[in-house]
């Protein structure tokens, strides 16, 4: 077996071994890739591990995305970056709202000051 990425090892017979760390326990499973008909289905492996089949399916899909096999899904690094950018955007929007409110107050004060000076 050749190591592809931490946590993901592909075997020569078309199966992928996925190791997942979830709630403090490492789960190792072998599932067949979509192109390969050999290997146990995800549902059987999930049952053997005592987890829900959709949880294992999500982990396998995420491992495939991280490996580069699923360009339609975000990698863990891309998800982290997206979260960081969304937080930054929220902060910038809040700052923008504060600056708009402050500029309105300053404009009102300047207008009152100009009115007093012209009288």
The domain limits of the chain are: 2-73, 75-119
Distance CA 3, CA 6 (A): 7
- Mean pLDDT over each residue of the chain, to the nearest integer: 76
pLDDT band, residue 8 (cuts 50/70/90): very low
- Its sign, for the CA torsion 83, 71, 62, 6, is negative
Distance CA 46, CA 50 (A): 6
Distance CA 8, CA 73 (A): 17
Answer whether residue 119 shows pLDDT above 80.
no
Sheet containing 25-32: give its strands across: 2-5, 8-10, 15-22, 25-32
Answer whether residue 82 shows pLDDT above 90.
yes
For the segment 59-87, the average pLDDT, to the nearest whole number, is 93
The 3-state DSSP class for residue 2 equals: strand
- For residues 2 and 111, the model is more confident at 111
Could you read off the pLDDT of 33-62 as tens digits, one per residue?
454 455 678 888 888 888 898 988 888 888
């Amino acid at each position: 077996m050749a190591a592809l990425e931490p946590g993901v090892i592909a075997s020569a017979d078309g199966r992928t071994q996925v190791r997942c760390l979830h709630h403090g326990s490492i789960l190792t499973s072998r599932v067949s890739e979509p192109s390969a008909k050999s290997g146990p289905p995800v549902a059987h492996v999930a049952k053997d591990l005592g987890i829900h089949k959709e949880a294992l399916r999500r982990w396998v899909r995420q491992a495939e995305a991280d490996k580069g096999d699923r360009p339609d899904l975000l990698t863990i690094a891309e998800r982290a970056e997206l979260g960081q950018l969304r937080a930054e955007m929220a902060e910038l929007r809040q700052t923008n709202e504060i600056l708009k409110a402050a500029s309105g107050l300053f404009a009102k004060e300047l207008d009152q000051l100009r009115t007093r000076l012209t009288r």
